[in-house]
């Protein structure tokens, strides 16, 4: 899986996944009944924690824009996202079906990513190849939330005081039901080698969840995700997460979990 798309998956998963079977779920849902700091930023982060912790399912259209300002290059991918928690764990499906490069025309470009708690499967229709990467032991499934927090700041799940140890968090403003937060990575942050900043636009009028996220890495590259027409906690058929490797594809590359 390409590093660029992996970055997109990381950003997407951490913002839309609930806490699954993790013990933090009850903790997050209980936050509004606790005393909340009068600081506006802390209130916003607390409300985001509550909204994210209450997710049972989430689906939306997505737009993922990867920009390299130094090279004056942009690639926009479009598709759909599905996430749901079931008795046996959680599942995630992200399917890109089109892209545009710079000012060029829209092209069909299909890529599917499915995470089932154990394996992340990538089906690449351009090169007709599939890859299965094991991310958890067979008897120890992990939620998408758990997967992502290993590699990305968990804005919306970490308590505001913990988050502020890693970032300088600033409220930029509010407009049309969207609150804009800017998070600058601190010099001693655990994320200092990967990111310089994160911008988050939270839909406080409807979902309480992010509508757009933009991260900037140390090379100045920008990864921007937009969540369009979200449906929160509506039933998703588990068959959405089923898949088969298409005819004509090579034998899937299987990457087992490193011990």
Q: Tens digit of pLDDT for each residue in 57-67?
A: 889 999 999 99
Q: What is the pLDDT of residue 148?
A: 55
- Band of the pLDDT at 2, cuts 50, 70, 90? very low
CB 36 within 8 A of CB 43: yes
Beta-carbon neighbour count of residue 141 at 10 Å? Answer: 18
Q: Tens digit of pLDDT for each residue in 230-251?
A: 999 999 998 999 999 999 998 9
- For residue 19, pLDDT over 80 is answered with no
Q: What is the pLDDT of residue 20?
A: 31
Assigned CATH topology for domain 3-249: outer membrane lipoprotein receptor (LolB), chain A (2.50.20)
- The CA distance from 58 to 37, in Å, is 29
- The CA distance from 21 to 26, in Å, is 10
Question: 86: part of which helix (H) or strand (E)?
Answer: strand 73-86
- Return all residues near 252 (Cβ < 8 A) that are at least 6 apart: 121, 129, 130, 131, 132, 245
Q: Tens digit of pLDDT for each residue in 195-212?
A: 899 898 999 999 888 898
Three-state secondary structure readout of 134-146: ECCCCCCCCCHHH
């Amino acid at each position: 899986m390409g590093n660029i798309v992996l970055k997109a998956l990381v950003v997407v998963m951490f913002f839309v996944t609930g806490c699954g079977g993790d013990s933090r779920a009850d903790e997050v849902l209980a936050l509004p009944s606790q005393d909340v700091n009068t600081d506006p930023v802390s209130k916003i982060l607390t409300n985001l924690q509550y909204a994210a912790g209450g997710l049972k399912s989430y689906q939306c259209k997505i737009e993922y824009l990867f920009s390299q300002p130094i090279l004056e290059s942009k690639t926009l991918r479009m598709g759909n996202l599905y996430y749901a928690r079931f008795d046996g764990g959680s599942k995630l499906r992200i399917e890109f079906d089109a892209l545009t490069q710079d000012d060029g025309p829209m092209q069909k470009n299909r890529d599917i990513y499915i995470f089932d708690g154990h394996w992340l499967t990538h089906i690449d229709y351009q090169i007709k190849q599939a890859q299965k990467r094991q991310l958890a032991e067979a008897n120890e499934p992990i939620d998408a939330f758990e997967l992502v927090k290993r590699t990305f700041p968990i804005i919306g799940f970490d308590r505001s005081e913990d988050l502020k140890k890693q970032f300088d968090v600033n409220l930029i403003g509010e407009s049309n039901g969207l609150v804009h937060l800017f998070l600058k990575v601190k010099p001693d942050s655990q994320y200092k080698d990967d990111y310089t900043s994160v911008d988050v636009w939270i839909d406080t009028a409807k979902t309480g969840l992010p509508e757009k996220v933009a991260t900037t890495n140390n090379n100045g590259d920008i990864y921007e995700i937009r969540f369009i027409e979200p449906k929160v906690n509506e039933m998703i058929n588990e068959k959405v997460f089923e898949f088969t490797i298409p005819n004509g594809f090579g034998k899937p590359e299987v990457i087992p979990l490193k011990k």
